[in-house]
Amino acid sequence: MVLFTYFLPSEIDNIIHQPNNKASAYLKSLLRDNLISHGQCILVGKYHFRDDL
Amino acid sequence: MSIRFFSIPNITLELMTPDINNSNRNFCKCLGIIKVAATACILLSFVGQIIAKEKLEIRFDPSQYLGASADEVMDSVSYSLIKLNSSDTKIARVEKVRIEDDHIFIWDNVQEVIFIFSSSGDFVSKIEKLPGIKPRVPMENIRSFIIDEDRHFVIVEPGLFNNDTVYYRFIYDGKFNSILSKPPIDYANFIVKENGNYLYYQNPVKWARRSSEILYHLLEYDSLIHLVNHYDPMDTLKCFDRIYSYNDNIFTSSDKKSVFYTDYYSYEVSDILNCNNILTYKFILPLTYSIPTKFENNKCDKEFIAYFLEHGDVVHGFSDVYRVGNNLFFKAFTNSSERAPATNNFLFSLNGNNTLLSLYDIRPSDISHYMPLFGDYTGIVSTDNGFIYLFFA
């Protein structure tokens, strides 16, 4: 089961500058490959909550 | 946790055989019974269908919740992007987002434009003009949209100041398809049911101005906007005065598995997608957090409002309700000055363990450093079908 949320461009810069974590690593790799530019994307987070809590 | 079933009493009709001595009297009696039967039939046909109601009681104590690390409550976290790198993708404000059938739909309510992206995040198209409409003032162009997943339409509702009596259907590439008649009701929030019919909630505002009673209606139309069913599953309230508007919380989730309706100052949340079998979650709170019973039928009293202002911990009601598998996500409303609104977002496990998890207290861990799902006025939310829905106040 999945839940989504999103991060606006204004939040993404903060995420990129955070130390190692999945979201920042993902964004840094896209930036490195010139697939995105600063402030020009919305990050969609997809969270799988456990069903047996 | 306990489950109760409520049933509507059956109407039984007595068949009479008139005897010779009392033929006139019995004939009249028979006639009376027939009238009752006819009235019942008319009433039932008007109401639509008999609705089975099921209630699931949830013991909810806002002070007794658990925190956890993200690892403990999540299986995985992944990310994807929506690219805003072209001149066509200048979004001023994200008011509503949906992901459906490999498309991402974003409504910008400042520009009154619907942006369409592919699932890989590339810009596809945008809906910015409605056929024949030349908006002169804000809120005249596009008011909102819903997605008809089965028929692959974006259904666009014209702006508040637009007097059009139609909706506009577009296909997923942004091209205009057809006009859809608007049902003859006031402003209504609506969804598309699994069978393709449209289910409307009739806004009670106008009714409230006319009467001391508010009547909530659910009206189901087929694709040609022919009335199919008229449901009236909600209680009638005796007042309209309120502190917060809950209007935006109606139809909070649209994953075709659950569509929730919340009420003013109520601890009941109803899943109304399957109108013939409405499941209601009834939250049972400790007295400290509950609306006193003396206000139960007197919710517009000044004393009632004053009570809320003085007792910040009292829960007004529930909103942002989503069921994802066995997890029920919800937001509790309070006036508390000590608790930030973001701390009122919870997950309740419906699998029988009665786990109450504070979403604010999910700690970052290796699986995810970010849990920004639940701000003061922002939240998720989505479900299996990939649906995002946020409000920014």
Q: Would residue A8 count as lying in a domain?
A: yes
Segment B125-134 shows an average pLDDT of: 88
User: Strand B3-6 vs strand B52-59: parallel, antiparallel, or unpaired?
Assistant: antiparallel
Under 8 Å between Cβ of B277 and B52: yes
CA distance A16 to A21: 9
Taken in order of first residue, the domains within chain B and their CATH numbers are 1-47 (no CATH), 48-363 (2.120.10)
| B141/B34: higher pLDDT | B141
A48 CB neighbours in chain B (<8 A) are 74-77
CA distance A39 to A15: 12
Chain-chain contact of B367 with A22 (C-beta, under 8 angstroms)? yes
The percentage of residues in chain B with a pLDDT greater than 90, rounded to a whole number, is 11
CA distance B172 to B115: 10
Which range, B56-70, B88-102, B137-151, is most confident?
A: B56-70
Q: Which of A2, A10, A15 to mutate to test the interface with B (most CBs of B within 10 A)?
A: A2
Q: Which of A49, A51, A52 to mutate to test the interface with B (most CBs of B within 10 A)?
A: A49
Query: What pLDDT shows up at residue B133?
Result: 79
pLDDT band at B222 (very low <50, low <70, confident <90, very high): confident
Chain-chain contact of B327 with A1 (C-beta, under 8 angstroms)? yes
Q: Would you say residue B357 has pLDDT above 70?
A: yes
Query: What pLDDT shows up at residue B52?
Result: 62
Q: How many helices (H) and strands (E) does chain A have?
A: 2, 2
- The three-state secondary structure class of B210 is helix
Q: Would residue A18 count as lying in a domain?
A: yes
CA distance B383 to B258: 10
Query: What pLDDT shows up at residue B189?
Result: 65
Chain-chain contact of B329 with A3 (C-beta, under 8 angstroms)? yes
CB count within 10 Å of CB B24 equals 9
Full domain range(s) for residue A12: 2-48
CA distance B260 to B377: 18
Chain-chain contact of A5 with B77 (C-beta, under 8 angstroms)? no
- Residues 6+ away with beta carbon under 8 Å from B257: B273, B323, B383, B384
Q: Would residue A31 count as lying in a domain?
A: yes
CA distance B281 to B346: 14
CA distance B234 to B218: 9
A5 CB neighbours in chain B (<8 A) are 372-373, 379-382, 388, 390
Minimum-distance CB partner of A53 among B355, B379, B388:
B355
pLDDT tens digits for range B145-171: 888 877 889 988 887 666 667 889 999
pLDDT tens digits for range B70-87: 889 888 877 778 888 888
Q: Would residue A40 count as lying in a domain?
A: yes
Q: Which of A12, A44, A51, A52 to mutate to test the interface with B (most CBs of B within 10 A)?
A: A44
pLDDT tens digits for range A13-45: 777 777 667 777 888 888 787 777 766 788 777
Chain-chain contact of A6 with B76 (C-beta, under 8 angstroms)? no
Our count of domains for chain A comes to 1
Give Cα B205 distance to the centre of its chain: 16
CA distance B112 to A4: 24
DSSP E strand boundaries for B236-380? 260-262, 268-271, 277-284, 317-324, 327-333, 345-349, 356-363
Which range, B118-132, B244-258, B261-275, is most confident?
A: B118-132
Chain-chain contact of B372 with A4 (C-beta, under 8 angstroms)? no
Name the helix (H) or strand (E) containing B379: none
Q: Would residue A53 count as lying in a domain?
A: no
Q: Would residue A35 count as lying in a domain?
A: yes
Taking the model in full, what pTM does it have? Answer: 0.69
Under 8 Å between Cβ of A38 and A13: yes
Closest alpha carbon within chain B to A43: B81
CA distance B121 to B333: 35
Q: Is B111 left (phi over 0), alpha (psi -120 to 50) or beta?
A: alpha
